[in-house]
Amino acid sequence: MASVTPSDPAAVPARADRRLLRDIALVCLADAVVGVSFGAIAVTGGLPVWVPVLMSLIVFAGSAQFSTVAVLAAGGGPVAAAATGLLLNTRTAAFSLAVADALGRSWPVRLVGAHLVTDETAAFVLAQRDPRRRRAAFWISGLGLFAAWNLSVLAGALAGSALGDTARFGLDAAFPAVLLALVLPALRGSAGVRRAAAAGVVIAVAATPVLPAGVPVLLALTGLLVARTPWRGTPSRTPRSGSPSRKTSPGAPS
C-alpha cells in the first residue's frame, strides 16, 4: 500500500525529477574532477593562478579552456590561443539555438542564461520534452555546473601551485589524455571524421618543428580538405532539425 506503483500518475514525474537531479549531480561531479585537473595543469604549465580562474568564470567552456591554455603554455601567441578556443566554441552557437526556448522569456534572464549554454546543459535540455521541464533542466544543470566548474578550477589552481614540478608526476600526459577521452566518441562514430583527424594530425605534427607554437594546431584543420570523403557517411543522412544531441553526452566536459 505504501509502495508507489509506476502507474501512479503523480509518482512518474517525481521519479523522473529525482533521476534528472541525480544525473545532473553526477555530471557536476565529473566536471569538478575535470576542473581540478584544468586548474592544476594550467598552473603547473607555467600560467599564473588568475588565468585559469578568470577564464573559467568568463569563458566557461572546458575543451576551449584546455586548448587555449595548451597553446599559451606551449609559448603560442594570444591570437593562436584565442583562435583555437573560439573555433572549438563555434558549436555553442548551434547548442544555443537548440536550447533557446528553455532559457526564459525576459531579456535579462536570457542574457544570463546564454552564458550557461554548454555541451552538458544542451544535452540535459534536449533529453526533456515538456517546456517547463526543459527550462528547469537548463537552469539547474547550468547553475550547478557553473558552480562546480569554477570552484573546482580554483581548487585545482591552488593545489597546482603547491605541487611544483609536474613532469615528475607525469601531469603533462594528463592533458592530451583528457582531450583523447573527449574526442573518442566522435572518432568511434564516423570513419570520415577519423580520416580527417588523421590527416590533420600528420600535418600538425609535421609542421611543429618549423612553425611558431599554436599555428600547427590550426593547420590541422586542413585535414578537413584532405579527407574529402563525406563525413556524413553515417546512416543518419536525413536532414536533422538542428538537434546537436547526437554528438552530446552528459559527462563529457564542454
Partner 1 sequence: MNATLVAVLVLAAGTYVFRLAGPLLHGRVELPARVQELLTVGATVLLVGLLATGALTEGHGFAGWARPAGVLAGGVLAWRKAPFAVVVVGAAATTGLLRLAGVP
Task: Considering only residues 59 through 88, tell me which ones interact with partner 1, judged by CB under 8 A.
Answer: 59-61, 63-64, 67-68, 70-72, 74-75, 77-79, 81-82, 84-88
Which of 22/110 has CB closer to partner 1?
A: 110
In the complex, minimum distance from the CB of residue 2 to partner 1, in angstroms, rounded to a whole number: 36
d(CA 44, CA 141): 30
**Residue 86 three-state SS:** helix
d(CA 218, CA 216): 5
d(CA 209, CA 203): 11
In the complex, minimum distance from the CB of residue 33 to partner 1, in angstroms, rounded to a whole number: 5
Q: Name which of residues 179 to 208 contact partner 1 (CB under 8 A).
A: 179-184, 186-187, 192-193, 196-197, 200-201, 203-205, 208
Binding of residue 117 to partner 1 (CB under 8 A): yes
Among 3, 5, 7, 241, binds partner 1 (CB under 8 A): 241
Please state the separation of Cα 58 from the chain's center in Å: 15
**Assigned C-alpha cell, 33:** 574532477
Binding of residue 90 to partner 1 (CB under 8 A): yes
Site string for partner 1, 207-236 (x = CB under 8 A): -xxx--x--xxxxxx-xx------xx----
Binding of residue 141 to partner 1 (CB under 8 A): no
- The answer to whether 174 touches 37, Cβ cutoff 8 Å, is yes
Which residue bears the cell 601567441? 77
Which of 139/175 has CB closer to partner 1?
A: 175
Binding of residue 94 to partner 1 (CB under 8 A): yes
* H/E stretch holding 62: helix 62-73
In the complex, minimum distance from the CB of residue 42 to partner 1, in angstroms, rounded to a whole number: 11
In the complex, minimum distance from the CB of residue 114 to partner 1, in angstroms, rounded to a whole number: 4
From the list 14-22, 126-134, 150-158, 165-173, the region that binds partner 1 by CB under 8 A is 165-173
Read off φ and ψ for residue 106, nearest 5 degrees. Answer: -75, 150
Which of 6/209 has CB closer to partner 1?
A: 209
- The answer to whether 43 touches 52, Cβ cutoff 8 Å, is yes
In the complex, minimum distance from the CB of residue 225 to partner 1, in angstroms, rounded to a whole number: 10
Binding of residue 156 to partner 1 (CB under 8 A): no
Among 4, 11, 13, 101, binds partner 1 (CB under 8 A): 101
Contacts 24+ apart (CB under 8 A), 225-233: 226/196, 226/199, 226/200, 227/192, 227/195, 227/196, 227/198, 227/199, 229/191, 229/192, 229/195, 230/192, 231/190, 231/192, 231/193, 231/196, 232/192, 233/190, 233/191, 233/192
